[in-house]
Amino acid sequence: MALTGLDIYKLLPKTNCGECKSPTCLAFAMRVAQKQAAVEECPHVTDEAKDQLGAASAPPIQLVAIGAGDAKVEVGNETVLFRHEETFHHPCGVAVTVSDADSEGDIAARVDKIVHLIFERVGTRIAVDMVCVNNDSGDPAKFAAATKIVADKCPTALILNSENPDALKAALDVCADKRPLLYGATADNCDAVAALAKEKDCPVGAKADGLEALAELTQKISGAGVKEIIVDPGTRGLRETLESLTQIRRYALRKSFRPLGYSQIAFATGGDDPMQTVLSAVTYVAKYAGIVVTDAIEPWQLMPLLTARQNIYTDPRSPIQVESGIHRVGEPGPDAPLLLTTNFSLTYYTVEGDVESSKIPTNILVVDTEGTSVLTAWAAEKFTSEQIAAAMKKSEVEAIAPHKKVIIPGLVAVESGKLQEETGWEIIVGPKESSGLPSYLKANWGG
């Protein structure tokens, strides 16, 4: 169990020198216990005390890195149960399965498909970031051959899924530089898997039936010197898995229970209903998997899964924003329309998509409204005639729109009179909804 504030205080110098920016050693101890300060911030603490305090100052859920270089996926180090309390810091890894029981041609084709599963949403590329190679054949040589195909063709991080240490070793020999997750350490094989992981500096996935057995297993693996662990309580049904994921997260955060203070892996695989597979995977992303493994591979399955992950791991305190200023759609000339919108990504990309579908080259002036949508920004006085006029001046819109006409969203039509006075421009009130832009632009600016 984690140390209490008083436990920590007993190990501090008790001189109240204030160099840690806390007024007293006791205040500092309380901050360390609440994970608000690191023990290293006290320059006078002894090495011996530091070792003892390590448990108290470590994050409640360990940070684990899988993969190397640009493909590295970091999971864990979360500090809250609910996103609105703060934010979730490390997006859940999404892994798609590959079976070593398939032919080499089928494996290569599946990997090609995975590599091309990249989508663009609100200006961000979202993609599958891991491949989980399953040792369904039970044959170490086939497992190694399948892993090599995946490692050669796919730039993502890898999970090697086998309970056979010989198979893990054979596969690891062809991809050790990728620092894969060795998934499948159980009570029976944990010594061999831990030795392999320690030798190659790889993270380990620990699997046990039930939380008690899992806590025992993680202590054994960490006692063997493995630094990074991912846990699996062995459940597979949606309800049972959701319960386990939630219990483990609560133990880690609410009880500071170190043996379960690890990121979790969940499996949305093997079902008959492809829609249910996606729903299960999305549920696990929301609560509280660090890695979701799925056999879903169709774009219609992965797009909603990756979108859900993007939404859940977006900091609710800072909406996704696009750069303010002029954005060009197509190659607008001096007669092209000039539209106004806000810098909330969802708003901007909706407008941009609708303008694109009109096929009328257009300039869009994006006003910095701190990532809020049109009506919210207007209500918060961030999209008033004064701010719009200032944005027009800053972006020197006269150079790109010498006709001196600007189209404002219909939702802020009330600003048109004042904006005309402020700028001297002709203010045209556009459609209320972005979906009205294609027909509006074609009818009024189609030439």
Which of 1, 16, 421, 436 is close enough to bind ligand SF4 by CB under 6 A? Answer: 16
Comparing CB distances to ligand SF4, the nearer of 43 and 424 is 43
Can residue 40 be called a binding residue for ligand SF4 (CB under 6 A)? no
Comparing CB distances to ligand SF4, the nearer of 12 and 131 is 12
Instruction: For the CB of residue 53, give the shortest distance to ligand SF4 in the complex, in Å.
Output: 11
Instruction: For the CB of residue 55, give the shortest distance to ligand SF4 in the complex, in Å.
Output: 18
Can residue 18 be called a binding residue for ligand SF4 (CB under 6 A)? yes
Instruction: For the CB of residue 261, give the shortest distance to ligand SF4 in the complex, in Å.
Output: 25
Rounded to whole angstroms, what are the CA distances from 120 to 88, 193, 285?
22, 38, 19
- Block residue for tokens 């493995």: 226
Comparing CB distances to ligand SF4, the nearer of 40 and 177 is 40
Instruction: For the CB of residue 59, give the shortest distance to ligand SF4 in the complex, in Å.
Output: 20
Can residue 46 be called a binding residue for ligand SF4 (CB under 6 A)? no
- Block residue for tokens 């539209």: 339
Which of 1, 6, 17, 118 is close enough to bind ligand SF4 by CB under 6 A? Answer: 17
Question: What is the C-alpha separation between 5 and 34, in angstroms, rounded?
Answer: 8
Comparing CB distances to ligand SF4, the nearer of 17 and 109 is 17
Question: Which residues are CB-neighbours of 147 under 8 A, at least 6 positions away?
Answer: 100, 133, 158, 160, 171, 174, 175
Burial of 185 (0-12, 13-18, 19+ CB in 10 A): buried
Question: What is the C-alpha separation between 155 and 385, in angstroms, rounded?
Answer: 49
Can residue 28 be called a binding residue for ligand SF4 (CB under 6 A)? yes
Closest CA to 36 of 21, 50, 17: 21
Which of 44, 72, 254, 359 is close enough to bind ligand SF4 by CB under 6 A? Answer: 44
Question: What is the C-alpha separation between 121 and 252, in angstroms, rounded?
Answer: 33
# chain residues binding ligand SF4, by CB under 6 A: 13
Can residue 282 be called a binding residue for ligand SF4 (CB under 6 A)? no
Can residue 13 be called a binding residue for ligand SF4 (CB under 6 A)? yes
Comparing CB distances to ligand SF4, the nearer of 43 and 105 is 43
Half-sphere exposure of 171 (CA within 13 A, CB side): 35
Closest CA to 220 of 189, 251, 265, 257: 189
The interface region with ligand SF4, picked from 11-19, 192-200, 244-252, 259-267 by CB under 6 A, is 11-19
Comparing CB distances to ligand SF4, the nearer of 12 and 170 is 12
Instruction: For the CB of residue 24, give the shortest distance to ligand SF4 in the complex, in Å.
Output: 6
Comparing CB distances to ligand SF4, the nearer of 17 and 141 is 17
Comparing CB distances to ligand SF4, the nearer of 39 and 211 is 39
The interface region with ligand SF4, picked from 12-20, 115-123, 176-184, 337-345 by CB under 6 A, is 12-20
Question: What is the C-alpha separation between 322 and 340, in angstroms, rounded?
Answer: 14
Query: What is the SS3 assignment for 144?
Result: helix
Query: What is the SS3 assignment for 395?
Result: coil
The interface region with ligand SF4, picked from 21-29, 66-74, 159-167, 316-324 by CB under 6 A, is 21-29
- Block residue for tokens 């392999």: 196
Instruction: Show the tokens assigned to 238.
Output: 């949606």
Can residue 25 be called a binding residue for ligand SF4 (CB under 6 A)? yes
Comparing CB distances to ligand SF4, the nearer of 12 and 144 is 12
What is the longest distance spanned by two Cα atoms in the chain?
80
Question: What is the C-alpha separation between 14 and 26, in angstroms, rounded?
Answer: 8
Rounded to whole angstroms, what are the CA distances from 41 to 19, 31, 63, 79, 380?
8, 11, 20, 20, 41
Please report, as ranges, the residues that interact with ligand SF4 according to CB under 6 A.
12-13, 15-20, 22, 25, 28, 42, 44
